[in-house]
Amino acid sequence: MNDTKQTGQQRILVVLPHPDDESFVAAGTLSMYIAGGAEVTYACLTLGEMGRNMGIPPFANRVSLPGIRKEELAASCRAIGIQDLRMLGFHDKMVEFEDRQLLDSTVTALLLELQPQMVITFYPGYSVHPDHDATGAAVIRAVGRLPEAERPVVYCSAFAVNHEQAIGQADVIFDVSDFLDQKMASIRAHATQFQAAELVGNRELTAEEIRLRYGTEKFWTYRFADQA
Amino acid sequence: MQPIPFEDIQSRIDRLAGQDLYIHLELTTGAYASHLDSTRHPASVFITNAAVRYSQGSISGSGPYRVGLKTEQGWVYAEGLTHVDETEAERLILAGHDGQGKLVVALQLSREMF
């Protein structure tokens, strides 16, 4: 358990590649910090335009999906209370193949502009989707280039099979059960995505099921190699 | 998206023949295939905004459908197509969705870049 949670004017930068990553990774945590007065910028690298979920029955397609997911992303951010959404315009599935300098300089520019105290991203190597890993890696490179004293704390989300064998247990665990209304509204804002059977099953979840499944958000504080 | 009306698709394929077109062709198991089920082999391909010109093309099967396009130097093929964007007048937007509604295959043709 980590109790360094600060209230007051805190700036948080969230860097994730897909609309809806914010819902599952950090919607409760962000709602909690925003309720405490934090300013949140969400830099979403892609529009998730290569996603496979198109609604049930399908109402979207490859052509219409980016525009639809843009609207869903904005609605999700409203549900969480995120004040500043940046859509960075990278191509879904292609983040790992992007020009690294472009990725890194994009993240660096955000760090310098916003001077966040906290950054939330994916743990590189342990986040399953290649875009997740590549996004986390870019954030770690960019933050790692800052002088140690100026680095924000970086909270990483990880969910690869057996990730705990490699990186241990999460050291930051937030009980977000008081913010499940915001989190579920954020998830549901992604209407093309959230019906996926593996996410919600084929029926309405009970309040207890929602709390068990979504009531806790876990992060790993990234330890930089040169860190004291 | 609507279930594919066979006759309509054939006439739309015919209308786009013999022209310089852009194609988006895709097949995907999804990036989470092996994360959710380790026995599955994840595989995906897509090519987007490739230039293509076909002399003849047809839709085949009884649903899910196949489409084959004969180009000057080869072929374009897609299997598993189930749905079309019925609101598109000029472009042909075909997709194949599995039982959970997830996109598995897409074949799109347009005179303008996607």
Residue B45: CATH number of its domain: 2.70.180.10
Q: Which residues of A touch B78 (CB under 8 A)?
A: none
Kindly report the CATH class assigned to A11-226: alpha beta
The minimum CA-CA distance between B98 and chain A, rounded to whole Å, is 10
Distance CA A205, CA A113 (A): 41
Q: What is the CA radius of gyration of chain A?
A: 17
Query: What is the residue whose two structure tokens read 């303008």?
Result: B112
Choosing among A53, A62, A92, which should be mutated to test the B contact, i.e. which has the most B CBs within 10 A? A62
Answer whether A197 sits within 8 Å of B85, measured CB to CB.
no
What pLDDT, in 10s, does the model give residues B48-70? 999 999 999 999 999 999 999 99
- SS3 readout for chain A: CCCCCCCCCCEEEEEECCCCHHHHHHHHHHHHHHHCCCEEEEEECCCCCCCCECCCCCCCCCCCHHHHHHHHHHHHHHHHCCCEEEECCCCCCCHHHCCHHHHHHHHHHHHHHHCCCEEEEECCCCCCCHHHHHHHHHHHHHHHCCCHHHCCEEEEECCCCCHHHHHCCCCEEEECHHHHHHHHHHHHHCCCCCCCHHHHCCCCCCHHHHHHHHCEEEEEECCCCCCC
* Domain span holding position B47: 2-110
pLDDT attached to residue A198: 57
Q: Rounded to 5 degrees, what are φ and ψ at A132? A: -60, -50
Residue A194: band (very low, low, confident or very high) from pLDDT cuts 50, 70, 90:
confident
Average pLDDT, chain A: 92
Selecting from A61, A63, A128 the residue whose C-beta is nearest the C-beta of B32 gives A128
% pLDDT > 70, chain A: 93
Asked if residue A38 has pLDDT above 60, the reply is yes
pLDDT attached to residue B78: 97
B42 contacts B64 by C-beta, under 8 angstroms: no
Residue A56 CB neighbour total at 10 angstroms: 16
Q: Rounded to 5 degrees, what are φ and ψ at A79? A: -65, -40
What pLDDT, in 10s, does the model give residues A113-151? 999 999 999 999 999 999 999 999 999 999 999 999 999
Average pLDDT of B25-46? 89
Distance CA B73, CA B89 (A): 28
Name the domain count of chain B: 1
Q: Which residues of A touch B32 (CB under 8 A)?
A: 128-129, 198
Selecting from A58, A63, A64 the residue whose C-beta is nearest the C-beta of B101 gives A58
Distance CA A180, CA A161 (A): 26
Residue B45: band (very low, low, confident or very high) from pLDDT cuts 50, 70, 90:
very high
Lowest mean pLDDT among A165-179, A192-206, B15-29: A192-206
Residue A2: band (very low, low, confident or very high) from pLDDT cuts 50, 70, 90:
very low
pLDDT attached to residue A196: 57
pLDDT attached to residue B38: 84
